[in-house]
Amino acid sequence: MAEPRLVSVIVATRDRPQMLREALASIRAVEGPDLKFEILVGDNGGLPESREVAESFSAIYQYTSKNGCPAPRNLAMSRATGEFIAFLDDDDIWLPAHIRTHIEVLDANPAFAGAFGQIISTDPDLTPLNEPWPHITPDDGDFFMMLMNGYFPQVGGTLFRASVLESHGYMDESLIGDSDWDWQIRIAADRKFGFVAKPCVLFRQRPKGSFNDMQLMRSAFTRRIFLRHALPNRKRWKTSKELIRSYYACQMYYWEYFLDVAAQRAGRHERWGVVKAVSSAFWIFPSRTLRCLIGKTELRQSARAIFS
């Protein structure tokens, strides 16, 4: 019988020991005679229970006081010894279809640096909110332009060859938001990826309106990362207009988020909440927000409802 494939699974956690327990249990549930996991937990929280939970699943536990996701992920990756590297955030859950098909794709395509899988977004209770995504991916394995047009692969659904750490380095710890997206783009700039059209991860979503400051911060990091990769690779776009459209596509999620929050706050008659949401949308897309406030749109209705 062949030796089991060894995968190093990087789990970043911060003060959510019960969710961490669920996440680690979902990882161990995928193991089998053909597949072995080396779980490495990177923690930048302050609860002793997190270490206890990690060690109860025979995980390697490491602590850092540095803020942000990339620091604990990098710390954990520095100890990885597997042939492949996978990820899972402490509030998400792996599904049984994960990993094995990714490895099959990479075995069949030695030039691929990694593989992306489908994600199911859920509410905090893991009730699905939509169909698995994405549906359409590049046939040739060149994901660079898809990433630069607003595809943010949830890191829990990805599998990379461990060799990418030598060729492309670790995540940028100066990026508190979207450091994994930045890392994926960096690799995709000169390497190809496979795709697994099977749901691999349950991805918990926070209730809309509960993390506005975080979304505004993330939009700033998204802008920084987009420019970081777009300018050196600008020849990939045929025209400047196409490049601008790509930038809009990357920011559209945040802009639409704040439009929804404005409507939510208007429904609750929270005047200051509407003002803050509209101001955030304006900061992301000033001219588009003004057009929506002037035209017959839901944003104008939200504003009028609260101030009339």
pLDDT of 89-140, one tens digit each?
999 999 999 999 999 999 999 999 999 999 999 999 999 999 999 998 999 9
Contacts of 109 (CB under 8 A, 6+ apart): 141, 192, 194
pLDDT for 302 beyond 80: no
Count of residues in the chain: 308
Same domain, yes or no, for 185 and 51?
A: yes
DSSP letter at 9 equals E
Contacts of 50 (CB under 8 A, 6+ apart): 13, 15, 16, 17, 20, 41, 43, 61
Same domain, yes or no, for 222 and 250?
A: yes
Same domain, yes or no, for 154 and 221?
A: no
Looking at residue 207, what is its pLDDT? 84
Contact (CB, 8 A) for 182 and 175: yes
Q: Which two tokens stand for residue 154?
A: 């949830």
pLDDT for 300 beyond 90: no
- What is the rounded distance in angstroms from the CA atom of residue 239 to the CA atom of residue 243? 7
Contacts of 147 (CB under 8 A, 6+ apart): 153, 181, 184, 185, 188
Q: How many CB atoms lie within 10 A of CB 229?
A: 19
174: exposed, middle or buried (Cβ count in 10 Å: 0-12, 13-18, 19+): exposed
- What is the rounded distance in angstroms from the CA atom of residue 69 to the CA atom of residue 165? 17
pLDDT for 216 beyond 90: yes
Looking at residue 308, what is its pLDDT? 59
168: exposed, middle or buried (Cβ count in 10 Å: 0-12, 13-18, 19+): middle
Q: Which two tokens stand for residue 130?
A: 């939509």
**Which of these three, 184, 204, 224, is where a domain ends?**
204
**Which of these three, 156, 171, 204, is where a domain ends?**
204
Q: Which residue has the higher pLDDT, 281 or 267?
A: 281
- What percentage of the chain exceeds 70 in pLDDT? 97
Same domain, yes or no, for 88 and 59?
A: yes
Same domain, yes or no, for 125 and 229?
A: no
Taking alpha carbons only, the member of 83, 270, 252 closest to residue 162 is 83
- What is the rounded distance in angstroms from the CA atom of residue 151 to the CA atom of residue 107? 25
Mean pLDDT for 204-227 is 91
Instruction: Look up the CATH number of the domain holding residue 67.
Output: 3.90.550.10
- What is the rounded distance in angstroms from the CA atom of residue 216 to the CA atom of residue 211? 9
Same domain, yes or no, for 234 and 295?
A: yes
Q: How many domains does the chain have?
A: 2
Same domain, yes or no, for 95 and 118?
A: yes
Output the pTM of the full model.
0.93
Same domain, yes or no, for 188 and 218?
A: no
pLDDT band at 307 (very low <50, low <70, confident <90, very high): low
**Which of these three, 204, 220, 241, is where a domain ends?**
204
Same domain, yes or no, for 192 and 216?
A: no
Same domain, yes or no, for 91 and 222?
A: no
Residue with tokens 């938001």: 177
DSSP letter at 32 equals B
Same domain, yes or no, for 181 and 39?
A: yes
For residue 252, give its domain range.
212-307
Peptide bond into 17 cis (omega under 30): no
Same domain, yes or no, for 33 and 123?
A: yes
Sheet of 84-89: strands edge to edge?
60-63, 35-43, 5-13, 84-89, 158-161, 112-122, 192-204, 93-94
Q: Which residue has the higher pLDDT, 296 or 253?
A: 253
